[in-house]
Structure 1
Amino acid sequence: MTDDLREQVHAAARRARVAADDLVLATRERKDAALHEMAAALRARAPEVLEANAKDIEAGRAAGLSEGLLDRLALTEKRIDGVARGLETVAGLPDPVGEVLRGSILPNGLELRQVRVPMGVVGMVYEARPNVTVDAAGLALKSGNAALLRGSSSAEHSNTALVAILRDALETAGLPADAVQLLPCHDRASVTHLITARGLVDLVIPRGGAGLINAVVQQATVPTIETGVGNCHVYVDATADLDMAEKIVLNSKTRRTSVCNAAESLLVHAAIADEFVPRITAALRDHEVTVHGDETFARLDGVVAATDDDWDTEYLSLDIAARVVDSLDEAVRHIAEHGSGHTEAIVTSDVAAARRFTARVDAAAVMVNASTAFTDGGEFGMGAEIGISTQKLHARGPMGLAELTSSKWVAWGEGHVRPSS
């Protein structure tokens, strides 16, 4: 069975390579037309998607999935329209393929250019988020890549319906359907076969919980980009406008708890703790958020005493860890010890403090007087995103079109030969 599954995954990768070879020659006009066709097909066939998604939701509830995971899994007409609009936004973005990154004419007359090129075959391993199926397919197509999608079994019906629609749209637009393929999802071995298909797959991107990401990064022989678990912090500095701070904390925590850019920890400077701690605790309680607090927070009614584990927890729920710190430096040290390198925010009216925080905090995105919820490809003007990279090589932060490309050097000569040494 394992050998059969390996061949199934590898055969899909070989078909993807053929499709990628076709896509590398596709004009922007053809790719954009396909993206608009995909968006229109999703809207027209939304009832099929919703029917399939209802089966996944029913199975997920029966399996005891948390409300946070069910929210990630759920599709609505509004969310389907949202991913369709994401495809249309991507269609409106410049094509990264062929962009000249740098170039010159050497003293000997050789014309040298470094240009963006597609990665080739990109594998995605992800959990319980069928919107990722569409985002990944659209971004891969625009950047000239073929996508191998390995979603979770919890979203099997949704992903199957979505990929069928996307493949039909590609064929209608005259592009290879195998540019988007869905891999088997019931046996974890399919992930292993994908992430070890060196030579067949050019890049793998895991997107999901810490367990999934760590397993892929540690076991892969194919190059990977690590996307982020989001233990995001909001630090309220001594000079913060407290009205602003309350608004930012609430938006960061409660806008949507199941996403990786939601705040999971709150740090408050001791100089404003007497006033702000009771105020923000009451505001969070009004939004049904459970505060897991240090000694200062735990004196208040309804606050749960924090454990050591709370500082490292990505709740993905209406929970937040909270503590008082004596200084900005202590806040930075806490983030360095417990943060996940995703998004960190400071609320302050002190420009010097903001500059110190942004310089010292090691994260893919740092917000000054703004919600952590803004770490998102759409909000950053990238259209959709394929994930938030928390690593430091090649791509960091929201991954859009440019991050799905590599580069090559192209040299034009007129019979140039290199002299013997």
Structure 2
Amino acid sequence: MTEILDLVRSCATKAKGAAPALAAATDEAIDAAIGEMAARLSSARGAVLAANAEDVAAAEAAGMSGGLLDRLRITEERLDGMAEQLRLLASVPHPAASRKVGTLDGGFDLIEVRKPVGVIGANYEARPNVTIDVASQLVKSRNAGVLRTGSAALRSAQALLDRVIAPGLSDVGIDEDVIQLVPTPDRAAAGALVELPDLIPLVIVRGSGETTRELDRRAAQHGVRTLAHADGGGVLYYDAEADPDFAADLITRSLDRLGVCNRLNLLLVHKAVYDAALPGITAALEKAGVRASLPPHEHPIGYEWALDGDNEATVTIAPVDDLQHAVRVANEDTSGLAAGIVTTDEKAAEAFFAAYTGTGVFWNAPTRLLDGFKLLGVPETGINLDRVPGPRGPVTFTDLVLRQYAVRPGGGAA
């Protein structure tokens, strides 16, 4: 463990040493670096796809489930999508570094200043695209980073760092050391990442359930703050006034990918239409290649199927007494990621919106839309579910800053 901690500390030290230069970089240099990364996703396509093919082959040999393999695999189409997201990110205007927010007694100006955190860590599952998402968000926010991914995706992540991220930075004169990848598959590196508060004060923690929650607890013990995304699972309430054909289509569209957190996980159906709606619902699930878990359930009602490699092609279905019952289940028995209502009754939809306290709420729309790029037009570092003030929902580069208040004599520029 000491050896792994030293390895992570070495990465963090390099990142911290390069951080001031990134913080001082111009908007133009930042956006040029991200644009270079997009270009290199094309020019280095062969090397990236070859590394990913090795990861996928090793995962298949180890018996990885289909849903997890889908998350691991980079296709030509996905590579093009990653490049397009980078180009769009490069075009997004940078928020002002400071703004005047008021005038104090004595004629002083109160200025709110946005400053980078410094070095931000990120621990995430075996999804190669997240390496690009997180690295680009950190660069756009002028934060250095130490990335640690699951062992299954390490070859892909290393290729993306060596062939895309690092040269994209160095090509525009930014020290490539600002983005580090922990070069070991050892799981102990995840724990080490949250034990270095003087070097890495904030860590983005993504992944599966209890493992991520344990890292969150461990970080707190060492004085490291986290943006944690441990649990997910979209909820859909099938109202008594739902259009059956539209609902069936919505269910199918909510299951286009099974290994993601915002897919349909729990379907709650008003008891007045439960029996009549069930055949159409099961047909929609069958169309998506998914089975129904029907009452009586042998698992918690909010059990997240995306994290179950053996049973990920499952959706829990349960009757509820009414809208209030559905909201209570969604608020109390699920992660609070996202919930939607399918109905033709506008008053029911408004009541659902008012009562649900989770991160995203939807009317006649799939919870799959709870995604940084789909909602906000930029990649995300993760989805924060905290029920306290701070960044909530998809976390993007605009959230990865510290707020500072500056008081100066009145009349000066912000």
Pairwise TM-score range, normalised by the shorter structure: over 0.9
Quick check: 1:343 aligned with 2:338? yes
Quick check: 1:306 aligned with 2:297? yes
1: CA distance, partners of 2:284 / 2:115: 49
Q: Which runs of structure 2 are paired with 1:239-258 in the superposition (5 Å)?
A: 239-252=241-254, 254-258=255-259
2: CA distance, partners of 1:385 / 1:97: 20
1: CA distance, partners of 2:230 / 2:246: 27
2: CA distance, partners of 1:308 / 1:177: 47
How many residue pairs end up in the alignment? Answer: 401
Q: Match for residue 73 of structure 2?
A: 74
Q: Match for residue 120 of structure 2?
A: 122
Q: Match for residue 285 of structure 1?
A: 286
- 3-state SS of paired residue (2:227): coil
- 3-state SS of paired residue (1:75): coil
Deviation (angstroms), 1:228: 4.3
Structure 2's unaligned 5+ residue stretches are none
**Contact 2:271/2:321 (8 A) holds in 1:** yes
1: CA distance, partners of 2:96 / 2:121: 19
**Contact 1:292/1:310 (8 A) holds in 2:** no
- 3-state SS of paired residue (2:376): coil
Quick check: 1:413 aligned with 2:412? no
Q: Match for residue 236 of structure 2?
A: 234
Identity level (%): 37
Moved over 4 A (4+): none
Tell me the alpha carbon deviations over residues 129-187 of structure 1, each in whole angstroms, 9 at most, x when there is no partner: 01000000101000111111001111111011001121112111111101111013322
Q: Match for residue 156 of structure 1?
A: 154
Deviation (angstroms), 1:311: 3.8
Q: Match for residue 298 of structure 1?
A: none
Moved more, 271-280 or 157-166: 271-280
Quick check: 1:320 aligned with 2:315? yes
Quick check: 1:137 aligned with 2:135? yes
**Contact 2:89/2:378 (8 A) holds in 1:** yes
**Contact 2:301/2:333 (8 A) holds in 1:** no
Deviation (angstroms), 1:281: 1.2
1: CA distance, partners of 2:73 / 2:240: 40
Which amino acid is the alignment partner of residue 225 of structure 2? P
The Cα RMSD (Å) is: 1.6
2: CA distance, partners of 1:182 / 1:324: 47
Which amino acid is the alignment partner of residue 226 of structure 2? T
Deviation (angstroms), 1:8: 2.1
TM-score, with normalisation over the residues of structure 2? 0.93
Deviation (angstroms), 1:310: 5.2
Which amino acid is the alignment partner of residue 395 of structure 1? P
- 3-state SS of paired residue (1:111): strand
Moved more, 5-14 or 20-29: 5-14
- 3-state SS of paired residue (1:61): helix
**Contact 1:268/1:323 (8 A) holds in 2:** yes
Q: Match for residue 277 of structure 2?
A: 276
- 3-state SS of paired residue (1:225): strand
Quick check: 1:353 aligned with 2:348? yes
Structure 1's unaligned 5+ residue stretches are 295-304, 415-421
Deviation (angstroms), 1:99: 4.7
Tell me the alpha carbon deviations over residues 361-398 of structure 1, each in whole angstroms, 9 at most, x when there is no partner: 22111111111110111111241111111113411111
Quick check: 1:35 aligned with 2:49? no
Moved more, 319-328 or 2-11: 2-11
2: CA distance, partners of 1:339 / 1:26: 42
2: CA distance, partners of 1:89 / 1:99: 24
